């Protein structure tokens, strides 16, 4: 575990946690409309097809881009020193401003949605501005981390090393985004933004994976379970997991983001690069096994996280064609990361000066959220096997067979359960973070 110093590290971590939580609140409200727009029966009552894509853009960017980066900043701040406090606060306020602009951007005219991968966009100046502002804020926090969070003993402090390598992966990702923007000619349309975010988006997944492994190990240590490997061996496993990042500049050198080989090479990087994390995953699984019988909210999140991440990983090798098996795969992986961060948030709240989470609601929240997301993912995977296409809603889904309708109905029910679970996470955190009346 990592002791969080008082002063700047703790204050910055608290601020970033608030930003991440507010992003989840906004994303959860939009998710309700997203589920309604694709659930058989409901989709015919509520004319939400035209709203589906715009809501999906902001939902994804808040729940993935902002939430993941904000929670990463919680860890980078907690593991760093007090140096560069001004830069740290500047990064936070810039990112917060960008998040606010992103949230209100759909209410401005001419918001043309594009469902490209990784960072979907609304083609309008306000949303573009929000991306640049958020990007500037997250770039600043990454650069500060490179100078303030380097572990003094990189082979004896595996958690600090994992947090630092997450920042390295994030920096590589930001560099890839900026380089793609610099070399690509100006353009619009989904194909342009697919090329723009393809390389950086793939690199960013390594950041999330490293920080997820940190969360798993931190939770286990907090609950009294020592890793099955020594600190030096764990550190070696983190270094191994970071090796695939070396491929990113090589892929860019081999061909620009407009080339087909660029997209193929990054797809192969995902396929061949993430298995380098297998030793970390196995050590985490061993820790999870030792936690059987333990009743704690963070343990609940650990269990649900591991199940969802494993499900998403397996589905990734089952993708055939362009259908909803693809979102089933990345929903599983993304939710696995989200649940790991939820569990670590439960651990960090008392260390950040908030109250500890406790009670049956806190223990069951990750299971409710995880069960709903698992049903959502399996419904998508089932429907994808019957040819339901991705990124469509309403009548465009062309649900003509009973298996298709069963799968998407399962998706819808699971999504509603997951929304309830997500809102419960917000409730649990707010109960711990807001001052009590009369206190």
* 127 lies in some domain: no
Q: What is the pLDDT of residue 407?
A: 67
Q: How many CB atoms lie within 10 A of CB 111?
A: 18
Angle (CA) 246-247-252 rounded to 5° is 120
* 223 lies in some domain: no
* 43 lies in some domain: no
If you write DSSP's letter for every residue of 398-428 in order, what string do you get? ---SHHHHHHHHHHHHHHHHHHHHHHHHHHH
Q: Give me the count of residues in the chain.
A: 439
Long-range contacts of the stretch 244-247 (C-beta < 8 A, 24+): 244/206, 244/269, 244/272, 244/273, 244/274, 244/276, 245/168, 245/169, 245/172, 245/203, 245/206, 247/273
* 194 lies in some domain: no
Q: What is the pLDDT of residue 362?
A: 95
Q: Is 100 exposed, middle or buried (0-12, 13-18, 19+ CB in 10 A)?
A: middle
Q: What is the pLDDT of residue 398?
A: 46
Print the domain residue range for 429.
Answer: 291-434
* 314 lies in some domain: yes
* 142 lies in some domain: no
Q: What is the pLDDT of residue 394?
A: 44
What are the distances in angstroms from CA 411 to CA 47, 201, 368, 384?
19, 26, 15, 11
Task: Write down the pTM of the prediction.
Answer: 0.91
Q: What is the pLDDT of residue 117?
A: 86
Q: What is the pLDDT of residue 341?
A: 97
Q: How many helices (H) and strands (E) does the chain have?
A: 16, 2
Query: Please, are residues 5 and 81 in contact by the beta-carbon 8 Å criterion?
Result: yes
Q: What is the pLDDT of residue 426?
A: 93
Look at residues 269, 280, 275, 283 and name the one whose alpha carbon lies nearest to residue 314.
275
Domain tally, the chain: 1
- Residue 125: DSSP 8-state: H
Rounded CA gap, 145 and 261, in Å?
Answer: 33
* 402 lies in some domain: yes
* 365 lies in some domain: yes
Q: What is the pLDDT of residue 397?
A: 46
Q: What is the pLDDT of residue 381?
A: 77
User: Residue 317: which CATH number?
Assistant: 1.20.120
Look at residues 298, 352, 373 and name the one whose alpha carbon lies nearest to residue 63.
373
Q: What is the pLDDT of residue 402?
A: 61
- Which segments of the chain have a pLDDT < 70? 33-52, 319-324, 384-408, 437-439
């Amino acid at each position: 575990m990592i002791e969080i110093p008082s002063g700047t590290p703790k204050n910055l971590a608290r601020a970033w946690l608030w930003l991440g939580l507010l992003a989840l609140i906004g994303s959860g409200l939009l998710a309700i409309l997203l589920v309604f727009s694709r659930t058989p029966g409901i989709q015919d009552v509520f004319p939400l097809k035209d709203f589906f894509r715009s809501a999906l853009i902001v939902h994804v960017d808040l729940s993935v881009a902002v939430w993941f980066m904000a929670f990463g900043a919680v860890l980078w701040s907690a593991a760093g020193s007090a140096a560069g406090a001004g830069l740290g606060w500047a990064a936070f306020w810039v990112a917060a401003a960008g998040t606010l602009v992103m949230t209100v951007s759909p209410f401005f005219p001419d918001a043309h949605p594009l469902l490209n991968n990784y960072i979907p966009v609304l083609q309008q100046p306000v949303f573009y501005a929000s991306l640049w502002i958020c990007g500037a804020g997250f770039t600043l926090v990454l650069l500060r981390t490179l100078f303030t969070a380097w572990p003094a003993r990189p082979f004896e402090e595996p958690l600090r090393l994992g947090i630092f390598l997450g920042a390295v992966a994030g920096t590589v990702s930001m560099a890839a985004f900026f380089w793609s923007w610099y070399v690509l000619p100006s353009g619009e349309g989904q194909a342009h933004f697919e090329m723009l975010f393809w390389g950086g988006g793939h690199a960013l997944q390594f950041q999330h994976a490293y920080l997820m492994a940190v969360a798993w190990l931190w939770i286990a240590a907090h609950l009294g379970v020592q890793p099955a490997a020594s600190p030096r061996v764990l550190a070696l496993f983190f270094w191994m997991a970071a090796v695939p990042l070396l491929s990113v500049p090589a892929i860019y050198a081999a061909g620009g983001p407009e080339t087909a080989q660029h997209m193929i090479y990054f797809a192969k990087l995902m396929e061949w690069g993430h298995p380098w994390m297998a030793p970390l995953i196995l050590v985490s699984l061993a820790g999870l096994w030792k936690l059987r019988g333990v009743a704690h909210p963070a343990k609940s999140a650990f269990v649900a996280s591991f199940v969802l991440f494993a499900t998403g990983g397996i589905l990734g090798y089952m993708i055939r064609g362009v259908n909803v098996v693809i979102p089933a795969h990345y929903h599983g992986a993304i939710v696995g990361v989200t649940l790991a961060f939820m569990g670590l948030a439960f651990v960090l709240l008392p260390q950040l000066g908030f109250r500890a989470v406790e009670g049956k609601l806190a223990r069951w929240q990750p299971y409710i959220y995880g069960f709903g997301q698992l049903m959502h993912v399996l419904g998508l995977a089932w429907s994808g096997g019957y040819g339901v296409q991705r990124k469509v809603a309403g009548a465009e889904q062309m649900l003509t067979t009973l298996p298709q309708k069963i799968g998407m109905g399962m998706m819808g029910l699971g999504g509603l359960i997951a929304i309830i679970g997500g809102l419960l996470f917000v409730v649990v955190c707010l109960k711990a973070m807001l001052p009590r009346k009369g206190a």
